């Protein structure tokens, strides 16, 4: 049972435009969410996180939005740059546990 779902396996965006990556979850006990970026032959790199008490968190070009009623979160990258081309994973966890449940990833390609 896939508790965290990323339904778009890939996304292409022009440089300078907005990239929107989506993630859905099924477990209502999840209260902490993260986005990681992964380049080939490297481990995932932490990007940004959000607690369930918030609906938005921003860090530079990256903003994460959380819609708890829809069990949906999204990552916005503005403006997109070619160096953003990577696989993006969303992850979730619940209070009292430290393991992350990851989605299957979305491959973002930013075209110059």
Partner 1 sequence: DTGVSQDPRHKITKRGQNVTFRCDPISEHNRLYWYRQTLGQGPEFLTYFQNEAQLEKSRLLSDRFSAERPKGSFSTLEIQRTEQGDSAMYLCASSLAWGSRNEQYFGPGTRLTVT
Q: Which residues bind partner 1 (CB under 8 A)?
A: 4, 32, 34, 36, 41-46, 49, 51, 89, 91, 95, 97-105
CB 95 to partner 1: min, Å: 7
**Residue whose entry in the numeric block shows the structure tokens 């032959």:** 41
Q: Which is nearer to partner 1, 9 or 82 (CB)?
A: 9
Nearer to partner 1, 27 or 49 (CB): 49
Cβ at position 112, least distance to partner 1 in Å:
27
Q: How far apart are CA 77 and CA 90, in angstroms?
A: 14
**Residue with smaller CB distance to partner 1, 27 or 104:** 104
Residues 6+ positions from 5 with CB-CB distance below 8 Å: 23, 24, 25, 26, 103, 104
Do 49 and 32 contact (CB within 8 A), yes or no?
Answer: yes
């Amino acid at each position: 049972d896939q508790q965290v779902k990323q339904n778009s396996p890939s996304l292409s965006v022009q440089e300078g435009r907005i990239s929107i990556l989506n993630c859905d979850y099924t477990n209502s006990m999840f209260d902490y969410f993260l986005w990681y970026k992964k380049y080939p032959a490297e481990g995932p790199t932490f990007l940004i996180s959000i607690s369930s008490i918030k609906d938005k968190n921003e860090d530079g070009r990256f903003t994460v939005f959380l819609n708890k009623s829809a069990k949906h979160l999204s990552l916005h990258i503005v403006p997109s740059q070619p160096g953003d081309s990577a696989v993006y994973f969303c992850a979730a966890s619940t209070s009292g546990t430290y393991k992350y449940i990851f989605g299957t990833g979305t491959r973002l390609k930013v075209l110059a």
